[in-house]
Amino acid sequence: MERADKPPVPDLDDLPPDAAAADGVRRGVEVIKDELKRLPPKPGVYRMIGADGEVLYVGKAKNLKNRVGQYAQGRVHANRLTRMIRETRAMEFIVTATETEALLLEANMIKRLRPRFNVIMRDDKSFPLIAIRRDHAIAALQKHRGAKSFKGDFFGPFASANAVNRTLNTLQKAFLLRSCSDSVFSTRSRPCMLHQIKRCSAPCTELIGEAEYARLVDDAVAFLSGKSVELQDRLAADMHAAAEALEFEKAARLRNRIRALAAVRSVQGVNVQTFTEADVFALSVEGGQSCIQVFFFRAAQNWGNRAYFPKHDRDAEPEEILEAFLAQFYDDKDPPPLVLVSCDPPNAELLEEALAVRAGRKVEIRKPERGEKRDIVDQAVVNAREALGRRLAESGSVAKLLDGVAETFGLKAPPERIEIYDNSHIQGTNAIGAMVVAGPEGFVKNQYRKFNIRAGALTPGDDYGMMRQVLRRRFEKLAQPDAATPAEADEPARTEAQVAQGGVDFSKLDDDAQTPDEKFGQWPDLVLIDGGEGQLAAAEEVLKDLGLFGKIPIVGVAKGVDRDAGRERFFMPGRAPFRLDEKSPVLYYLQRLRDEAHRFAIGAHRQKRKIEMGKNPLDEVGGVGPARKKALLARFGSARGVARAALAELEEVEGVSKQLARRIYDHFHGGR
């Protein structure tokens, strides 16, 4: 940021390349020196800001004055730091009480601001857990994602939803715990199908007593807490005792539970002996890219693994990559007592302290040198190396395919961002528009978007009208006069308000301090529409209305004769329809893009339809929450029974006032 009392700085565009670079570095150093005069020798977080407001880098320091001063000493910096200093035009600071707080805040801000000179953890969606809900007298066994917003026991994380589903399936056989919602539980009058197939003990109809059901819940908690051997031994003893007492049906039930428990243990793969709960992080670096394999061990069992490919500068050190990744990984997750790593983070003790603050207990970070732990880390390194090799090979093949896409559609350069659109509905009901995004690294799933079609004046089943609505909602913001042009949008500008010092909430920043909504902030290099000439015409109409026609390449992909894959026809403005060779790799790639959009649209439509089917009419009545809905259903048996009830009967329900009873009655009787 230039100040009026300083001599004017020459425009970098008017200087030779070397002189422009040197002058840019000098300008950045001047900014840093100016800020350095006012910095306190306290711990905190600093941000380097570019000319357009983009946050270039977020760093933490034990002593802000000393750390920031290193950037202004004129010493030789790595290429990455030199470029960062050259682009710096302002700095912002937050003073914290301790270096630990600075580390937590740094990780929080990196994940939200995604500065391009930091190591960025990508694909940070939440992991699935197994939850035993205890906010009801009869506990329920369920899959769970997100915040732990209810009372219960949580076990995980699992690496994938499939791993959770497999484990839940077997746990139902072993412990016969209910998995239904509370509303379904309260309205059952006879056992459901899960009881018939011996996966639920039917507490809803009191086929099992509360005390006996509570013992099943305790057994499930014990098993998921790592006490599986003791539990199996006790069940085996009970089975033999039942057999000796000639209670063969009970013995058979216990035998089936033992088999189910053994099945859970067997499908988890590695069962460790030297620890019960740990996460394993193994790093492999090659060709300026890296892969971090994370293995989860809970209850002395392997609960799966996931590969991450963090974004970082090519010359970043492995230890630096792993340390930054660990801090961001646990920004919104509880760390286990033990974290095993393949290389020592430079600030391991500080990171341990920060994780202990988050977990509320001691957390140890260790690079094992021998024994079982070393073998597990070595195996994780092998997995990381192989995953990175596959990634590099795939990136090379995708790069060739993108070159072919550019040649096929006459693009100036291989597309970095391809957006594919499709709609899904049944005769116009529960209509959903879908956008998927692909690029050099494959499908970018955190950029996928669903559009709930607003019926309004649309004719049910009007596919063209739906496509017009979706594209208008997608591109109308880019059509604003102050929006960046496609050429300027490779690195979208990020603005951030100064976060007030003191009282920092590390779980989330102020709304103004978060990254702007990036749903529609990036320009696509190519838009693919699932449809033929009519869909393309609808898309053209929208782009012309928004003044974007000609700025964004757009292609319609129509299914071939008899809807056969391989016979697709492609439509582009000002160009006759054409086909590609049926064996063309580019055609296969475009089919994959189209099919992914179709899969995502259908999945979103089915989910919306499922929600609509599961809605209770009482959900639409204002003032009827879960407790009152439960009381109404318990009294009248169903929503239909509530609808048929007289006003006086509604007033007799506990928790329902006369005003609310009138509102419920009017809702079902049209206000009569």
DSSP annotation string for 486-529: GGGTTS-----PPPPSSS--TT---GGGSPP--SS-S--SEEEE
pLDDT per position as a tens digit, 209-249: 899 899 889 888 888 877 777 777 787 888 888 888 888 88
Mention the CATH class of domain 278-391: alpha beta
The one-character DSSP state at 634 is H
The span from the CA of 589 to the CA of 586, in Å, is 5
CATH of 12-113, one of 3.40.1440.10, 3.20.20.150, 3.40.50.300, 3.90.1150.10: 3.40.1440.10
What are the structural domain ranges in the chain? 12-113, 129-267, 278-391, 415-484+519-612, 617-668
pLDDT per position as a tens digit, 611-622: 766 566 777 777
Domain 617-668, CATH: 1.10.150.20
Does the pTM of the predicted model rise above 0.85? Answer: no
CATH architecture of 415-484+519-612: 2-Layer Sandwich (3.30)
Question: Is residue 404 over pLDDT 90?
Answer: yes
pLDDT per position as a tens digit, 7-58: 343 443 444 455 556 677 888 888 888 888 888 999 999 999 998 888 999 9
pLDDT per position as a tens digit, 128-145: 889 999 988 899 999 998
Element (H, E) at 452: strand 449-452
Residues with Cβ within 8 Å of 414's Cβ and at least 6 positions away in sequence, in order, are: 399, 402, 403, 405, 406, 440
The percent of residues above 90 in pLDDT, for the chain, comes to 28
Is 86 in contact with 99 (CB distance < 8 Å)? no
What is the pLDDT, as a whole number, of residue 405?
A: 93
Confidence of residue 672 (pLDDT cuts 50, 70, 90): low
Cα–Cα distance list, 398 to 232, 393, 469, 600, 664 (Å) = 50, 9, 31, 21, 58
Query: Same CATH topology for 278-391 and 617-668?
Result: no
The span from the CA of 235 to the CA of 30, in Å, is 73
Is the alpha carbon torsion for 24, 30, 33, 34 positive or negative? negative
